[in-house]
Structure 1
Amino acid sequence: SSCIRPLNTGRFLLHQLPFRSEPARLENHNSQLTEIKVMWLLLTAVLCFNAAHAFKAAVYEHVQSNATSIETAVSENLQAYWWAAGNASSEGAHIIVFPQDGIVYRLRDATDVARWTEDIPDIGVTFCDSQKLSILSELSCMARDNNIYVVANLIDRKTCETGDPSCPLGRVKYLNTNVAFDRNGRLVARYHFTIFENFVYPVHPYELAVFDTDFGAKVGIFISFDALFPESSLLVKKHNITLGVMSSWWFDELPGWYSVGVQQAWSVHHGVPLLAAGIQRLKTGSLGSGIYAGLHGPLNYTYSPDGKSKLLLADLSTTTSVNPRYAGDELHPARRFLKQVDVSDYAAQLLERPAGNSSVCHGDFCCTLSYETQILKDRFVVLARNGTRNVGAFMRLGVQQCILAVCLPGEYALCTNFTTRSSTKFAKLQFKAKFAANAVFPVVASDELALIPGDKWQFETTSTNVSTLTLKENGKDEDILHIALYARLYHADLFIEGFDSYESQYLQIQHL
């Protein structure tokens, strides 16, 4: 660790403390030493926090090659990665994260999968210049030649172990896998995804992938929908990571269940910085990447359906950003691609007055909103849900949800569709509920799904699982679009057998 060690306070004089302007008048020597120890522990904690986060990081939002030849597409994707890694390194970044399926994707059948997968060995191996493992070799050399940690996603190929009941007929499993390389090009982590895809199998038992770095961060790796499951939380609770890394291909849904909203929610809930790199693919409603500083919110993020790849950088020694939005983002795109969540079985209540209290209950689970605005320029609904909600067609997640959302214009009955635009500012806003679990995640969005900076709202959860989200005084200038609190009830999760690929599930999306 790069944290400083506590000094021997028995010989440490009060006037040596640099953060004290003058000696305190203490009643006796013992109380003097007690104060010194407390102050030193506080200073140590601050310096340890800064040391653990004093580095620059990069994430790359990638638009995959549209070449019809898989070989050409893989080559072009890797060229884009080389460009990003080189530029990130030249800007002083210590680590770069790439998205899910950014190199190899659109595999048509088992033959394609067999051709474009590699048997990824255990950690500790350097692949640079290997003739047998071409993609791993490229990534290894990329890390070594640019003196940067690299995290990327590809497909691992593993021969089934004897007696494995989940083994396919071909006796070979293909696993959605993240790999991490250090500055020498050495493989330092390998993580297998746990959710089934076409041709790609989940791994059992669940794996946790953690590695230490030479810049002081302890890194935990997960992939996309892992953010919704308890195992990604174990990286924090069990391994005490100081940095989360997420490769993603997300599919956006309204209200509130969209890429950068979920990314920020994970970072806020765990109080741990997160590097999240996403694929941009408009027809599946996929985009959004960012660098987040835990409770302090985003340092740099992008959410722009412009068909462009983007390299994002941020200094993790800072905890705030005056404007965390990527400088090149299109803030008001002509259209967005999003899937609408079916809320027909949610408890709902429209906001009819510009100020008041709204309590909405789904069974014995209740969401309470206190609010005040000069005028409701938009039509808002408060939603409550206690039960499950579908994720595509492959899973039902156990949830308790409280949502404040703007209805799609033109819906004059109780709204069931939602917009991305808002023009209502609140002088007061507080959302509160008592949940059945402590895994509660906040999503706070303004007009066009922009993330509201972390210094403009406050989120708290008590020991009895009462969660409260409050808009601060300096948040009154934000056009509120969504406020959501969702708790995960992991014990109620239900997998659905016999589904198609993620992409096919999300082709029925709306253009907003």
Structure 2
Amino acid sequence: MIVGEFILIFIASFAVYSRQTSTPQLPFYTAGVVEFKGASSTLDDLEQVNNNLAAYLEIISSQEAAETDIIAFPEGTLNSALQSTFVPDPKLNITPCNQTQYAYFLQKLSCQAKISKKYVVVNLVEKENCTAESQIANKDPRRCASYGLNQYNTNVVFDRNGVIVSRYRKFNLYYEPWNVTLRPEYGQFTTDFGVKFGHFVCFDILFYTPTTELIKSNITDFIFTTKWFSELPFLTAVQYQQSWAYSYDVNLLAAGASNPSTGNTGSGIYLGKKGALLSVMKSTPERKLYVARVPKKGFPGSNSIPVQNLQIRNKRATTSSINNLLVKRDRRIDSFITVPLNTSTQHVQLCYRDLCCNFNYKTTLLKPPANSLSYQYRLAVFDGDRIYPGIDPLGWSVCSVMACINNTLEGCGLGFNETVRVSPQLRFDHILIEANFTKTENNLLMPNSVDESLMPLGIESFRFNISDAGYKNIARFELLKPRDDLIQFGIYVSFFGERSSTSHLTQISNNLLILCSLFIVFKLKNL
């Protein structure tokens, strides 16, 4: 069959399958991601769960959800520690619907998945009995809490019959009070429409385990439940979601909690190197389902499907400005090596230890109104670690053009006050950033960008490629279309495994040496 005939059949099939489920024979499935505002904290715990559950059930059974094969809800918007639930092991093939040993909201969600005939992914607080005997059986040397329960940040997946087919307990916690499993779990399940999914939670996306390990097992479609706290200039929600999916060239369904006043928003459906089908960054909270048809990776002819035939509702919902959303500033950038961007120069090499970044750019000076302020820009390079309490360091490197509210490094990663009129004084007609990075099995080189609306540049606006140069990888990130609204444009590299572990071991060794030295000094003083 030629491609043209295939596309015609594909388009015609919408009329047949618009209210039916996908099948292994179709080149797409229909997915929904929910941007969701949790219930008001003024309600008590039970009232919050009831409120959230009612909204979940309404979304699953809504007309907007009628075409979906799978719906994903975000992290942390269903229940609390005081309203936690037991979750059966997926190996048992249990349907919690009307099974009273489970919390009523787990029962209701199971029943609704069964009624609606959809795969449903939710994130919740799970509880598990912990005894000395169970710890021995699990070969877990850790002691149980005095109240005899473990509590996890858990993804739960229901199939079309309401059966729990997958459970994943978050392994990388971000200042959270939950337990973690002794060994990482790997959330994955296979659907009746021929797609195998991996799934993980929020902070996990920055780590090798479990995300990269799932990718290395040849999973190409992922579900990401998140309650993300956006951070400039590299880690706003949609910015990083698109960058991650692009770099691994996987389909990503990201469902984000929606509370912009505390920094939470960001959902989307991404097709790897084909970019975002839809993406959402909102300045006001919402409870909304976003739907698109997702081409199946590796399905014959799926790469030839026109994007307009995939977008059920073509959404790029954004904040009106970065001032309408609480955004953190990455304080690590104060230790970057930076220089102000000089518009009279078109080539700069900037180095941080052994990492050297080459910047080539062409700019046009603009004339902003006299009563306005403008972003200024710095070229930046960094190579080092980011430390989180209780977690191995994350190795990362950056070559970046960053916007700043003044001519100092401390002004980078910030937005102007909402009362200020902002106008561009510089247009980037072209940017090319090039750098050599040490080649390891466990690093991820990403194109990373964000504009004033807190959205990444579309794939039509840039070119990114990596070439092999022996023990080095050469990364090139190029701006193809003029822009006057850039907040950040750069190469962002995460290092996993050996590099981070080595840094962690080095830190431990150094600490041991310090302790030994102090011990020797103490002994000498007491001779």
What's the TM-score bracket when you normalise by the shorter of the two chains? Answer: 0.7 to 0.9
Contact 1:354 1:374 in 2 (8 A): no
- In 2, Cα distance between the equivalents of 1:53 and 1:415? 49
Contact 1:299 1:319 in 2 (8 A): no
Deviations 1:344-363, CA, capped at 9 Å, x for gaps: 21111110115512222111
RMSD after superposition: 2.8
SS at match of 2:238: helix
1:386 aligns with 383
Residue 311 (structure 1) aligned to one of 282, 289, 294: 289
Q: CA deviation at 1:53?
A: 5.4
1:357 aligns with 2:334: no
Q: Give unpaired runs (5+ residues) of structure 2.
A: 6-23, 296-304, 367-373, 416-421, 508-527
Q: CA deviation at 1:166?
A: 2.6
Contact 2:229 2:264 in 1 (8 A): yes
Change (3 A) 1:89 1:217: farther
Contact 1:89 1:148 in 2 (8 A): no
- In 1, Cα distance between the equivalents of 2:465 and 2:162? 42
Give the counterpart letter for 2:473 in structure 1.
N
Q: CA deviation at 1:76?
A: 0.7
Q: CA deviation at 1:370?
A: 1.1
Deviations 1:29-78, CA, capped at 9 Å, x for gaps: xxxxxxxxxxxxxxxxxxxxx96851211100111001421101001111
- In 1, Cα distance between the equivalents of 2:293 and 2:79? 30
Give the counterpart letter for 2:394 in structure 1.
L
2:432 aligns with 430
Deviations 1:151-174, CA, capped at 9 Å, x for gaps: 111122223333433333324211
Q: CA deviation at 1:456?
A: 2.0
1:127 aligns with 96
SS at match of 1:266: helix
SS at match of 2:327: strand
Give the counterpart letter for 1:149 in structure 2.
Y
Change (3 A) 1:414 1:242: closer
2:267 aligns with 289
- In 2, Cα distance between the equivalents of 1:433 and 1:57? 37
SS at match of 1:169: coil
- In 1, Cα distance between the equivalents of 2:25 and 2:339? 48
1:451 aligns with 2:440: no
1:174 aligns with 2:148: no
Change (3 A) 1:52 1:100: farther
- In 2, Cα distance between the equivalents of 1:194 and 1:248? 14
1:468 aligns with 476
Residue 483 (structure 1) aligned to one of 489, 494, 500: 489
Change (3 A) 1:458 1:188: same
Residue 120 (structure 2) aligned to one of 128, 150, 160: 150
Change (3 A) 1:199 1:290: same
Residue 54 (structure 1) aligned to one of 21, 25, 28: 28
Give the counterpart letter for 1:350 in structure 2.
P
Change (3 A) 1:191 1:396: same
Q: CA deviation at 1:283?
A: 4.0
Return the TM-score normalized by structure 2: 0.77
Structure 1 segment 180-259 matched on structure 2, within 5 A: 180-196=157-173, 198-230=176-208, 231-238=210-217, 240-259=218-237
1:31 aligns with none
Deviations 1:200-250, CA, capped at 9 Å, x for gaps: 111221111211112221111111111111120121211x12311000011
Q: Which moved more, 1:86-95 or 1:299-308?
A: 86-95
Q: CA deviation at 1:425?
A: 3.4
Contact 1:355 1:373 in 2 (8 A): no
Give the counterpart letter for 1:216 in structure 2.
G
Residue 55 (structure 2) aligned to one of 50, 63, 80: 80
1:367 aligns with 2:367: no
Contact 2:230 2:237 in 1 (8 A): yes
Change (3 A) 1:390 1:88: farther
Contact 1:422 1:480 in 2 (8 A): no
1:399 aligns with 396
Q: CA deviation at 1:331?
A: 2.8
Q: CA deviation at 1:148?
A: 1.1
Return the TM-score normalized by structure 1: 0.79
Residue 257 (structure 2) aligned to one of 279, 294, 302: 279
Change (3 A) 1:237 1:198: closer
Contact 1:293 1:319 in 2 (8 A): no
Contact 1:296 1:455 in 2 (8 A): no
1:30 aligns with none
Contact 1:446 1:482 in 2 (8 A): yes
Q: Give unpaired runs (5+ residues) of structure 1.
A: 1-16, 22-49, 497-512
- In 2, Cα distance between the equivalents of 1:152 and 1:272? 21
Residue 162 (structure 1) aligned to one of 135, 142, 146: 135
Contact 2:319 2:325 in 1 (8 A): no
**For this pair of structures, how many residues does the alignment match?**
440
Give the counterpart letter for 2:432 in structure 1.
Q
Q: Which moved more, 1:259-268 or 1:480-489?
A: 480-489
Give the counterpart letter for 1:100 in structure 2.
E
Q: CA deviation at 1:319?
A: 6.6
Change (3 A) 1:252 1:179: same
Report % sequence identity: 26
Give the counterpart letter for 1:331 in structure 2.
S
Q: CA deviation at 1:329?
A: 4.2
Contact 1:422 1:481 in 2 (8 A): no
Give the counterpart letter for 1:466 in structure 2.
I
SS at match of 2:334: coil
- In 1, Cα distance between the equivalents of 2:343 and 2:272? 35
SS at match of 1:373: strand
Residue 412 (structure 1) aligned to one of 404, 407, 432: 407
2:517 aligns with none
